[in-house]
């Protein structure tokens, strides 16, 4: 998902300050992390004089607004994503986008979706190294790998009786994280 | 630095696209056509640059007018946005793009102003850095592993699930022996392909549930 919103330049430093605080105080990112369906997301502020100009022949941009560009890589559908954002992160989202022109607030969700629909632009090419894995799949798989690495160190040197106990403990540890990845069912 | 989160680097590039009124089909349209033909699985050019988690290429035609009382304004150039998330440092990544996916890089960025070609990797790196935007805030949910580690873990997760399923109820000594074989096989298994296979079914999809 990509979105671009205009901001009056005097507001830009305030948003930069907010992002600085968000970056410095990790607990403030807890809701974003706990949602656990965003692989990567970023916000980029482009100053009105900061659009790259690489040749004298390229016309110079003459803009009155700075722009906030948002990119998100999430699993699930657009509606699920926006609904979750609105329901769980409304306060944080308001602090980010309140500096953008005409932002209606992230609740109620209908005008919020209308605004996102207006400022969004489409992706022309998208690549994902693990296209069938959701964020939770990745986290679960890494936990399984860590548990297996631990168990593998001793599993072959145990007596069968010791192995049985250790194997059961290992299964109990990995059980919540087992499974295989695949195409998610599409729900609306 | 906001471009980085743990081991993950978030690169954002904004490259102005060449405007040439003399062309029947402008550069933007040619670029979009090309992008629409590119594979997205393990034959993607980004699978060659194997430290790439997720990447996108987007043409930004114009900025957005959100309605009055905001002012309506327009860009004078169109821009190609390249957003990518990878493990490692920026210079190494850009040099890998130039050397391992040079043909693709040329096919895309030849439509952009001032592009020097991927053949000269120093010039290419310098060009990309001129087009780079500093990320203001970057969020990476998992930021302490490499792409290779992550793909290997997903492979392990699936294989272990099958192992447990197949061997439940067997005597401990037999499971122990089979587990040793399983560990060896897993260790020597070929690394999973980044990007997956377009025609590949997942293990779950292959296994009908009773």
Domain coordinates in residue numbering, chain A? 2-121, 135-177
Which residue matches tokens 């005597």? B171
CA B64 to mean position of chain CA atoms: 27
| pTM of the full structure | 0.92
Q: In the CATH hierarchy, which fold is given to the domain comprising B4-64+72-133?
A: Alpha-Beta Plaits (3.30.70)
Q: Which residue has the tokens 């593998």?
A: A152
What mean pLDDT comes out for the span B60-87? 96
Q: Is B111 helix (H, G, I), strand (E, B) or coil?
A: coil
pLDDT at residue A125 tops 50? yes
Cβ–Cβ contact A78 with B under 8 A:
no
Higher pLDDT, A142 or A24: A142
Interatomic CA distance for residues A175 and B154, integer angstroms: 15
Alpha-carbon distance A49 to A33, whole Å? 33
Q: In this predicted structure, what is the pLDDT of residue A187?
A: 55
Supply the pLDDT for residue A25.
Answer: 87
Contact list in A for residue B64 (CB cut-off 8 A) is 4-6, 118-119, 121
Q: Which helix (H) or strand (E) holds A68?
A: strand A66-74
Q: What is the tens place of the pLDDT at every residue in B109-144? A: 999 999 999 999 999 999 999 999 999 999 999 989
**Mean pLDDT computed over A64-89:** 90
Residue A120 has pLDDT above 80, yes or no: yes
Q: How confident is the model at residue B204 (pLDDT cuts 50, 70, 90)?
A: very low
Question: Distance between CA A72 and CA A112 in Å, rounded?
Answer: 17
By DSSP bridging, strand A2-7 and strand A66-74 are antiparallel
- Give the mean model confidence (pLDDT) for residues B65-77: 95
Q: Considering only CA atoms, which of B156, B27, B124 is closest in space to residue B79?
A: B27
Which of A33, A121, A152 faces B60 most closely, judged by CB atoms?
A: A121
> What six digits make up the tokens of B51?
């430290």
Q: Please determine, for the modelled complex, whether the ipTM score is greater than 0.95.
A: no
pLDDT at B203 exceeding the cut of 80: no
Q: What is the mean pLDDT of residues B151-175?
A: 95
A-chain CB neighbours of B175 within 8 Å are 163-164, 167
Per-residue pLDDT, A186: 59
**Among B183, B162, B138, CA closest to A29:** B138
In chain B, the percentage of residues whose pLDDT exceeds 70 is 93
User: What ranges do the domains of chain B cover?
Assistant: 4-64+72-133, 147-199
Q: Which of A6, A46, A145 sits opposite B156 (nearest CB)?
A: A145
pLDDT at B199: 66
Split at pLDDT 50, 70, 90, the class of B83 is very high
Helix orientation angle between B121-130 and B90-100, rounded to the nearest 10 degrees: 120
């Amino acid at each position: 998902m990509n979105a671009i919103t205009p901001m009056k330049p005097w507001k830009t430093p305030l948003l930069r300050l907010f992002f600085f605080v968000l970056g410095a105080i990790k607990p403030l990112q807890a809701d974003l992390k706990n949602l656990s369906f965003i692989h990567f997301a970023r916000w980029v502020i482009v100053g009105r004089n900061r659009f790259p100009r690489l040749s004298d022949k390229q016309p110079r941009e003459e803009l009155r607004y700075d722009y906030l560009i948002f990119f998100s890589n999430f699993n699930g559908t657009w509606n699920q994503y926006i609904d979750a954002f609105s329901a769980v992160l409304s306060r944080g989202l308001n602090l980010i986008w309140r500096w953008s022109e005409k932002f209606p607030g992230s609740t109620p969700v209908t005008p919020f979706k209308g605004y996102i629909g207006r400022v969004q632009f489409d992706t022309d090419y998208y690549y994902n190294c693990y296209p069938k894995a959701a964020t939770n799949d990745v986290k679960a798989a890494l936990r399984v790998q860590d548990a297996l690495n631990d168990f593998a160190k001793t599993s072959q040197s145990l007596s069968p009786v010791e192995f049985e106990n250790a194997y059961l403990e290992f299964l109990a540890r990995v059980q919540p994280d087992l499974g295989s990845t695949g195409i998610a069912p599409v729900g609306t | 630095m906001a471009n980085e989160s743990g081991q993950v680097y978030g690169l954002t590039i904004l490259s102005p696209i060449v405007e040439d009124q003399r062309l029947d089909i402008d550069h933007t349209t040619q670029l979009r056509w090309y992008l629409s033909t590119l594979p997205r699985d393990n034959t993607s050019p980004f699978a060659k640059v194997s430290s790439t988690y997720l990447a996108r290429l987007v043409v930004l035609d114009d900025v957005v007018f959100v309605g009055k009382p905001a002012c309506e304004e327009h860009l004078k150039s169109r821009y190609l946005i390249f957003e990518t998330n990878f493990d490692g440092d920026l210079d190494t990544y850009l040099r890998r793009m130039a050397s391992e996916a040079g043909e693709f890089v040329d096919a895309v960025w030849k439509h952009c102003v001032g592009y020097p070609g991927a053949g000269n990797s120093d010039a290419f790196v310098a060009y990309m850095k001129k087009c780079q935007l500093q990320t203001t805030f970057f969020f990476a949910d998992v930021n302490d592993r490499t792409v290779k580690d992550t793909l290997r873990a997903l492979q392990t997760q699936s294989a272990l699930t099958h192992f447990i399923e197949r061997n439940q109820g067997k005597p401990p000594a037999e499971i122990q022996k089979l587990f040793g074989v399983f560990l060896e096989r897993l260790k020597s298994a070929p690394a999973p392909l980044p990007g997956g296979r377009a025609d590949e079914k997942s293990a779950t999809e292959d296994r009908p549930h009773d």
